Structure 1
């Protein structure tokens, strides 16, 4: 039985994987976890405007939702790093399977705490529940990211992680739609915002976590054994690609979370679209759906394929299929106690299609090389954020939403570039990279403070410097690879 206590000790090195090619069943299982934690994470984007109105908060105070959630990534990952340096890597001793099961149970506990938090009417209680939920997600990230990257051929690591992140993006795309319907309509009290609207959805999420924990316990995940040869460096911090990558992850996650956190209010600004929150929540799916398009296309662009000439065809077909999916899910609504469909006019969506085309052009410029693609996408993001901050109406709207397309491959590419060559230090390096997700706790506060002072539109200039650094990191990794080859 896979969940038995006889699971062998694991260390992260693909050379000792039970099966050389990608193991499909374990990989599918792991990618479904990516989907679910993406869903739970982006529910925060629905909670922020909900809490802001319910508790009468400033943008800065509402940003504490992300501070509590992503602050857990820093605290738990830092503890993990210290434990690994003092007494050995915990995942190597516990095993991936047990780590994932424990993490899902912790997630369930955090979701379940939403009910007493709602009963108490306490914003601080909700923040505590989010911290516990994020503790479980942190452990999932530490275990699942390197596992997905290593489960197959090393040269396809970025491609595999982009595919897994594509499923993560499916969760982040559906979360605003499902979360908006559940919180603002299905469980709302007579159309009014009330904390009780959060109880049932998060109890459902808790139940799903427990079901997933049971499934993972009983399936077989192949163990990964380490090499007997030890690297001369005493810890993961001895590798420059990891140190620079940690800063890149910090800036990327902080920027992506901050942008997503305030998109609903951005779209509601009178100089942009002036939309009510339920409608803005629907359009948030284009931001996270764009990330799904980029990640799935990135998986194709950066994989080792027998016939590379077919890649553009596959990428265009994938982009078209996901665009159709986004169009369908954004049509779902809940009215008078029934699910109904209300499709957005197709002619109004041509700017998004143009953005997708621009994304495919960016892949072509990057020539399928993870480091080059990272730099090219960063340059496009800088341009889009400047346009979003300095223009109005639909131009600002689609520039901001288009940022999701170009944020898409950043986690996967930075992560795989940063852990490349770490050998037995890979798990420790993973914990350090996950620790840098703390950027998601800090950037929404900075962007919220900027929005309070300068307005929500100009606050979208805050992440620009982040992408300048990430463009540099991509260039540095490309130059390093050229020297080593």
Structure 2
């Protein structure tokens, strides 16, 4: 990697860190549930609302990139994200938190749609799946830090300026401002779009290509399992082990530790191993995890299951996303918008998991996630062998 590429690579990786802010919603929803005495269905509205906006904004963001460029679209997403992190400093009411999480979801929808293609611009000629996986590793660091910062702020002995667990919002907001300044000051040359920009209908028509549609569903399952584990793991431990919320939040950290480890090692494995073989290994780990979460009642089994799904799910997005981009190389902005729209799975899965857990306890929520894992097994033949 030459020096110019490194100088562009660093601010892009800071943006991946800012992309990880969206994962604080799992931690935040559990604390808001405790603070306001909400049930699972109501508290799960928060992560569902965050990912609802991916359905609305992903395709328009792909069209926006065609007009103003990928870098400017990422900068816009960072500004919206910063505003979303500012709002919780003004209060902790349920409506205010819903507005904050909505803006967080809108900003993240714009960021995920535009940042991944920006990587393709910056790292021309590089291994796209491996580079995206390294970006996911950086993103996972932000995800991993969120529950620890919240637990640190919630401790009575810590001076958190009256914010308690909400102290994580100003900390992440400062990092978001830094990411914005770094990217703004970095020159990135983008190739002009050839031909007529695609319309909304043109983008949706790409779902008529089987590999694009199947990849879209794969992204839905990936993010549904990700958000579902993030939100449900502490509840499973509280239900089966009888521990407090603060103690149970370790499960969220454990999940992100192994997701972070998976992204870091995955960026290496995807260079030396067949994508299909690594995909099979990843999905098999997720299948074993679902068995552990369904049948496990001991600390060791439950923590092992959470670690397995964290590692197994860590590279699914990069492999599926890269496969979709490579399938229609002349429509990468549009395909990116469609794939990020698939993050709407983060809305659908928590809603059904909340309903299932209220009806059948947390085993119901795990069964919903298991459906997503089963689908990923069916996607294996679509992954490139090389």
TM-score norm. by structure 2 comes to 0.89
Q: Go from structure 1 to structure 2 and tell me whether the alpha carbon gap of 1:51 and 1:430 turns closer, same or farther (over 3 Å shift).
A: same
Unmatched segments (≥5 aa) in structure 2: none
| Aligned equivalent of 1:425 | 331
Partner residue of 2:320? Answer: 414
Question: How far apart are residue 237 of structure 1 and its match?
Answer: 3.2
1:298 maps to which residue? 266
Change (3 A) 1:404 1:80: same
* Compared CA separation, residues 239 and 372, structure 1 to 2 (3 A): farther
Corresponding residue for 1:264? 234
**Larger proportion of helix:** 2
Report deviation, 1:216.
1.6
Q: CA RMSD in A?
A: 2.7
Deviating more after overlay: 175-184 vs 427-436: 175-184
How far, CA to CA, are the matches of 2:209 and 2:276 in structure 1? 17
The answer on whether the counterparts of 2:147 and 2:252 sit within 8 Å (CA) in structure 1 is yes
Task: Quote the Cα distance in structure 1 between the aligned partners of 2:68 and 2:321.
Answer: 23
CA gap 1:137/1:230 in 2 versus in 1, 3 angstroms: closer
Number of residues of Structure 1 aligned to a counterpart in Structure 2: 380
* SS, match of residue 188 in structure 2: coil
Aligned equivalent of 1:158, options 129, 133, 155: 129
Q: Aligned to 1:23, what secondary structure does the other structure show?
A: helix
1:122-170: CA deviations, max 9, x gaps? x122111110122111111111112224533556111111111111111
Q: Distance in 2 between matches of 1:188 and 1:50?
A: 16
Q: Deviations over 1:419-472 (max 9, x none)?
A: 113223100110111111011112112112111111114531221121221122
Cα 1:199/1:455, change in 2 over 3 Å: closer
Q: Establish whether residue 385 from structure 1 lines up as the match of residue 262 from structure 2.
A: no
CA 1:283–1:391: 2 relative to 1, 3 Å: closer
2-side partners of 1:116 and 1:215: how far apart? 27
- Map of 1:13 onto structure 2: none
Q: List 4+ stretches of structure 1 deviating above 4 A.
A: 19-22, 225-231
Give the distance between the partners of 1:253 and 1:243, measured in 2 at CA: 16
Distance 1:472 1:80 in 2: 30
Deviations 1:146-196 (A, max 9, x none): 22245335561111111111111111111111122124543679xxxx8x4
User: Are 1:454 and 2:352 counterparts?
Assistant: no
Distance in 1 (alpha carbons) for counterparts of 2:196 and 2:28: 48
- SS at 1:463's partner residue? helix
Cα distance, 1:79 vs structure 2: 3.6
Q: Which has the larger radius of gyration?
A: 1
- The 1:463/1:385 distance shift into structure 2, 3 A limit, reads same
Q: In structure 1, how many angstroms separate the alpha carbons of the residues matched to 2:23 and 2:73?
A: 23
2:209 equivalent in structure 1: 239
What are the within-5 Å matches in structure 2 for residues 393-412 of structure 1? 393=298, 394-412=300-318
Which residue of 19, 22, 34 corresponds with 1:37? 19
> Hey, what's the Cα distance between the residues in 2 that align with 1:95 and 1:78?
14
**TM superposition score normalised by structure 1:** 0.72
